[in-house]
Amino acid sequence: MYKTLIALAGAGLLTAACTTTGNVERNAAGGAALGAIAGAVIGNNTGSGDAGTGAAIGAAVGGTAGAIKGCREDGGCGAAAPTRRQYYDEAAGRYYYYDQATGRYYWEDGRPRN
Instruction: Give the three-class secondary structure for 87.
Output: strand
Q: In what order do the strands lie in the sheet with 104-107?
A: 86-89, 94-99, 104-107
Name which of 61, 50, 8 is nearest 33 in CA terms.
8
Do residues 46 and 20 both lie within one domain?
Answer: yes
Q: Which amino acid is residue 79, in one-letter code?
A: A
Q: How confident is the model at residue 8 (pLDDT cuts 50, 70, 90)?
A: low
Residue 78 lies in a domain: no
Do residues 95 and 53 both lie within one domain?
Answer: no
Do residues 39 and 64 both lie within one domain?
Answer: yes
Do residues 68 and 43 both lie within one domain?
Answer: yes
Residue 110 lies in a domain: yes
- Residues 28-40 have pLDDT tens digits of 778 888 888 888 8
CA terminus-to-terminus distance, the chain: 54
Question: Residue 90 belongs to what domain range?
Answer: 84-114
Q: pLDDT value at position 95?
A: 93
Taking the alpha carbons of 27, 29, 35, 37 in that order, is the dihedral positive or negative?
A: negative
Do residues 59 and 89 both lie within one domain?
Answer: no
Do residues 11 and 67 both lie within one domain?
Answer: yes
Do residues 53 and 25 both lie within one domain?
Answer: yes
Q: pLDDT value at position 89?
A: 94
Do residues 41 and 63 both lie within one domain?
Answer: yes
Q: Give the count of domains, the chain.
A: 2
Residues 52 and 43: beta-carbon distance below 8 Å: yes
